[in-house]
Amino acid sequence: MSASSRLSSLSRRDLLQAGAALGLVAAAGSLAPPAVAATPVRGGQLRLGLDGGGSADTLDPALASGSVSFVIAHCWGDTLVESDPETGAAVPSLAQSWSPSADAKEWTFKMRKDVRFHDGKEFTVTDAVETLRRHAGKKSQSGAFGLLSGIDRIEERSGDMVVALKEANADLPLIFTDYHLQIQPGGGMEKPAAAIGTGPYKLVAFEPGIRAAFEKNTHDWHQDRGYVDSVLITVTNDLTARTNALRSGQVDFISTVEPKIVPFLERVPGVNILRASGKGFYSFLMHCDTAPFDNNDLRLALKYAVDREGILKRVLGGFGTIGNDYPINANYALAPADIEQRKYDPEKAAFHFKKSGHQDPILLRTSEAAFPGAVDAAQLFQLSAEKAGIKINVQREPSDGYWSEVWNVKPFCTSFWGGRPTQDARYSTSYVSNAEWNDTRFKRPDFDKMVAQARGELDETKRRVLYRDLALMVRDEGGLILPVFNDYINACTSHLKGFVPDIGNDFSNGRIASRVWLEA
């Protein structure tokens, strides 16, 4: 069977199976978020059916990973700083204000008063200092350890928290929005998995990979959140099980709705699709230091050979935006706005392919574990490359072990990245030479120097120029093929109100439980 026949067969079969599995009936539906009531309604139990949980889940925020842990952390905890859902700008949370020194190498944070932890203990600046020290310590295994690597020391000074940096960083407050950095009593040094915080809900029960239950924190310092009496998170990793739970009224919200399911699910009475733009993207990765991808003409050939519009339409169902081979979109502050969009161009692809001197077939590894529709996307890439005389062999890998045995190991594969709070965090995570997750092996000392320069630049005009130059370097010389930025797609029952699309991340940046309410 040809690649085109396989794609057509997959599309028809997937759609038919989806409809049969959901048992859908024809009815009017909506892609728009439900209308937000003028005044939130308090009370009731919020039931969330989420994927991304497992038996290894933990309540220690330092070790937390995955979408279920992400939402759980924001139920019981608070970070020092939050980000604005629309702009991504830093806004106060437990830290009520902050100010940098003239060189942006020392920052002073003033803490909110009259806040108490769930156990009744008063929140102090010491708790903030010790929390950051735990995550930034030399023996730390925290998921935020890399973000905090630029910190030289953290101390309490005259009732404030002072953070001294090794190098200037104009984005420091946004680093403290990371969900691992939930503030704990004494920094969580003694009981890191106690889930005692200052958040809107108190933990009642936790079974890793199964469920988490919470009750309202009646002494919450923040009155404009936490509208329900209780929250029940049920781990439901299977898509069909999640959708059936929503249809039958067992849950009020489900995560990770695949685009191919949307046309059916939107016909279900009383169900709404929740769509939010974000910073995450689907991609193909090439190792710049591994033959044949160490040849930039070959990399350019493949970048021109991908049909971005086709992938957006057929794989994402239109739920996303076109990418331009650098990991920044308009949801990032100071994002480049005038870089020419790279388009599918078989002639240019053929030109660079011939110039590269490469003739053999190119092996592309993929798996549904990479992102929803990753196999279809790889096959579409295979078809579009054929028109440029480039032969791509698509090898489907098992989902189990894909992220440990293929991604960041094999030289050409499909991948997915979630967003980061700042451009600096995005580039520092996977594009500077010594980044642990430099999955394209893009190693340029001049690029590294420019990232550090942009990080410490307080003049936004100058920073914008630097970030444009960084984007061009990755776009024209890197190993990233970024066809699309994906939207987040979730679904809820019609009585769930107040959902806030947040460009920070999925599930209203993890804060869905604190932001929504229920109406009869």
Domain 279-486 has CATH 3.10.105.10: yes
Q: How confident is the model at residue 458 (pLDDT cuts 50, 70, 90)?
A: confident
* pLDDT value at residue 1: 35
335 neighbors 87 (Cβ within 8 angstroms): no
In angstroms, how far is the first alpha carbon of the chain from the final one? Answer: 52
Which CATH number does 78-190 carry?
3.90.76.10
3-state secondary structure of 253: strand
Q: How far apart are CA 73 and CA 64, in angstroms?
A: 8
Q: Pick one of 2.120.10.30, 3.30.530.20, 3.40.190.10, 2.40.110.10 as the CATH number of 1-75+199-275+489-520.
A: 3.40.190.10
* pLDDT value at residue 147: 84
Nearest to 75 by CA among 173, 177, 204, 186: 204
Mean pLDDT in residue range 159-181: 95
* pLDDT value at residue 56: 87
pLDDT exceeds 60 at position 12: no
Mean pLDDT in residue range 414-428: 91
Where is 463: in which H helix or E strand?
helix 460-477
DSSP conformational letter for 30: B
Q: How far apart are CA 101 and CA 169, in angstroms?
A: 11
Looking up tokens 């979630």, which residue turns up? 418
Q: How far apart are CA 416 and CA 427, in angstroms?
A: 15
* pLDDT value at residue 173: 96
- 271-282 pLDDT per residue, tens: 999 999 999 999
Q: How confident is the model at residue 38 (pLDDT cuts 50, 70, 90)?
A: low
Task: Look at the alpha carbons of 115, 118, 124, 125 in this order and tell me if their dihedral is positive or negative.
Answer: negative
Query: What is the C-alpha R_g of the chain?
Result: 23
Say what angle helices 460-477 and 423-430 make with each other, to 10 degrees.
Answer: 40
Structure tokens at 118: 């769930």
- 341-392 pLDDT per residue, tens: 999 999 999 999 999 999 999 999 999 889 888 999 999 999 999 999 999 9
Q: Where in the chain is the domain with CATH 3.90.76.10?
A: 78-190
* Cβ atoms within 10 Å, residue 289: 13
Q: Where in the chain is the domain with CATH 3.40.190.10?
A: 1-75+199-275+489-520
Structure tokens at 63: 């070790």
Structure tokens at 507: 């599930």
212 neighbors 233 (Cβ within 8 angstroms): yes
- 89-119 pLDDT per residue, tens: 999 999 999 999 999 999 999 999 999 999 9
Q: Which long-range contacts (CB under 8 A, 24 or more apart) does 91-95 make?
A: 94/123, 94/128, 94/183, 94/198, 95/128, 95/161, 95/173, 95/176
- 482-501 pLDDT per residue, tens: 999 999 999 999 999 999 99
Structure tokens at 273: 């699709």
154 neighbors 132 (Cβ within 8 angstroms): yes
Mean pLDDT in residue range 59-74: 94
* pLDDT value at residue 434: 86
Percentage of the chain exceeding pLDDT 90: 81
* pLDDT value at residue 143: 87
